[in-house]
Amino acid sequence: MRIEEPAEELPEGSGAEAEPAEPGRPPRHLVWSTDRLDLRDPFQRKWYIRQVLLHGREEDLRTLDLKEVAEILEELNLPSPLHRLWEMFLERKGLVKR
C-alpha cells in the first residue's frame, strides 16, 4: 500500500478537491487526528486501511493492496453492509472464499 497524490486533478469548486499527499502524510479527509502515519506499524496500517474502506475516495481505494485487504478484512470491524460489500467484491476477484 502506498500513499500518493491522485492521478488527475479535480475541478475547482467541485467540493471534492483532494489535498496533495506527501509520503507518510495521509489525506485530511481520511486522517484528521495526526499529520503522520507509520504504515510499518501493523496497528496503524490496519487503522488506515479501515479509514480508506470507510471514508476513502476512488483515488484512495486504488492505493490499497487488495490481497492485503482480503487477508485482514475480518479484523477491520467494518459495519456489516460494508463488510459484505467488500467480501463479495474480493470474492469475485478470487481473493477470498466463503
Our count of domains for the chain comes to: 1
Query: Which 8-state DSSP code applies to residue 41?
Result: S
Residue 26 lies in a domain: yes
Residue 2 lies in a domain: no
Report pLDDT digits (tens) over 21-67: 445 566 665 666 666 767 788 988 898 899 899 988 898 899 899 99
Task: For Cα atoms 54, 49, 4, give the angle at the middle one, nearest 5 degrees.
Answer: 105
Residue 97 lies in a domain: yes
Residue 3 lies in a domain: no
- Other CB atoms within 10 A of residue 30 CB: 19
pTM: 0.69
Residue 8 lies in a domain: no
Pick from 94, 95, 69: nearest CA to 83: 69
- The mean pLDDT of 77-97, rounded to a whole number, is 93
Residue 5 lies in a domain: no
Query: Which residues constitute the domain of residue 47?
Result: 21-98
Residue 87 lies in a domain: yes
- The whole-number pLDDT of residue 79 equals 96
Residue 55 lies in a domain: yes
* Confidence grade of residue 12 (pLDDT, cut at 50, 70, 90): very low
